[in-house]
């Protein structure tokens, strides 16, 4: 078991976050619409935000040798991102999600056996040893295959840094085993209220409500803290000593466009807050404000850096 660190510590709320290296393990994929392709995947989205916020994210992933890889690398180059952790697979394609449009809206089909299911452990070892990250981030989707699970184990075994688990439960690509092995390897866990309900059922967590479930989950897996998002109702956090912090939902200036990627933006700001030693209430408020702003633009990632300017100007980040 690695040494634990507190999720947040007392500090000045105006303290700046020094440039840190954050290693992020997992999928890159493209949402394939009938008329266009949109680059994404939670680790990629979080890494992209962290890059714009002045950090040094290193994305550890695998793509196919195809046009989508070229598009990912071109975008990373445009943003000045480190692409040393992006492996190339000569057999399997870059991850894709087929978006089916029907009368009820969108239906997403996450394709099996993609390049990110075959992340190579040996290459991961070299990258992790070379980067010495201040924090590592991982999720659940890329663990659906044995090869990438072994690579993740290598990734986590090479560092003593805090481990941020971003739970994203996508049917049918998760089970109790994947969730359990993830929680056993994490210090800080982010998930939404619906996912907490699912996990409460799978692990028979004691209690009569979400707070009780969260406390039992922290105790069961020796977590430092739990970050729980509630959509328009904001978010809350539980520390290992039972302290609860809540942040209400933020107004959507200009109205709701879509919620795609809001959770990834929330995770990125929480990572900044943990590395910057922000107080818990400050971290949640800033993460909520950024996630709410993302709900006012189309897709997971703003296409213009000007989107981020207000969050620097008002010292929010």
Tell me the per-residue pLDDT of 129-166, one tens digit each, with 9 for 90 and over: 889 999 999 999 999 999 999 999 999 998 889 999 99
In this structure, CATH architecture of domain 187-309:
3-Layer(aba) Sandwich (3.40)
Please confirm whether the linkage preceding 305 is cis (ω < 30° from 0). no
In this prediction, residue 245 carries a pLDDT of 96
Residue 310 has pLDDT above 80, yes or no: no
d(CA 69, CA 64): 6
In this prediction, residue 76 carries a pLDDT of 96
Question: Of residues 79 and 259, which shows the higher confidence score?
Answer: 79
3-state secondary structure of 271: helix
d(CA 291, CA 317): 13
pTM equals 0.90
Q: Where are the domains of the chain?
A: 187-309
pLDDT tens-digit map of 219-235 = 999 999 999 999 889 99
Task: Print burial letters for 291-314: b (CB count within 10 Å at least 16), e (below 16).
Answer: bbbbbebebbbbeeeebbeebeee
Q: Are 56 and 19 in contact (CB under 8 A)?
A: yes
Mean pLDDT along residues 38-51 = 94
């Amino acid at each position: 078991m690695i040494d634990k660190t507190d999720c947040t510590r007392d500090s000045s709320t105006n303290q700046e976050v020094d440039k840190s290296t954050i290693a992020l393990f997992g999928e890159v994929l493209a949402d394939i619409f009938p008329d266009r392709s949109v680059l994404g995947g939670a680790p990629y989205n979080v890494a992209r935000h962290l890059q714009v916020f002045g950090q040094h994210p290193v994305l550890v992933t695998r793509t196919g040798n195809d046009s989508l890889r070229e598009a990912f690398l071109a975008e990373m180059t445009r943003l000045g991102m480190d692409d040393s952790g992006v492996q190339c697979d000569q057999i399997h394609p870059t991850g894709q999600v087929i978006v089916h449009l029907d009368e009820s809206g969108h239906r997403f089909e996450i394709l099996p056996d993609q390049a990110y299911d075959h992340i190579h452990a040996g290459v991961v070892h070299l990258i992790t040893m070379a980067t010495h990250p201040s924090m590592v981030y991982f999720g659940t989707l890329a663990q659906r295959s044995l090869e990438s699970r072994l690579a993740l184990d290598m990734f986590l075994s090479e560092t003593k840094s805090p481990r941020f688990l971003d739970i994203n439960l996508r049917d049918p690509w998760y089970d109790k085993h994947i969730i359990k092995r993830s929680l056993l390897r994490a210090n800080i866990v982010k998930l939404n209220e619906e996912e907490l309900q699912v996990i409460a059922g799978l692990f028979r967590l004691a209690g009569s409500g979400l707070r009780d479930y969260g406390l039992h989950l922290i105790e069961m897996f020796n977590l430092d803290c739990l970050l729980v998002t509630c959509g328009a109702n904001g978010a809350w956090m539980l520390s290992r000593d039972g302290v609860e912090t809540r942040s209400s939902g933020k107004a959507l200036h200009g109205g709701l466009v879509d919620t795609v990627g809001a959770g990834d933006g929330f995770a990125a700001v929480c990572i900044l807050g943990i590395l910057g030693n922000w107080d818990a209430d400050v971290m949640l408020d800033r993460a909520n404000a950024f996630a709410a702003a993302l709900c006012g633009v189309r897709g997971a990632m703003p296409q213009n850096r000007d989107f981020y300017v207000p969050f620097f100007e008002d010292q929010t980040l």
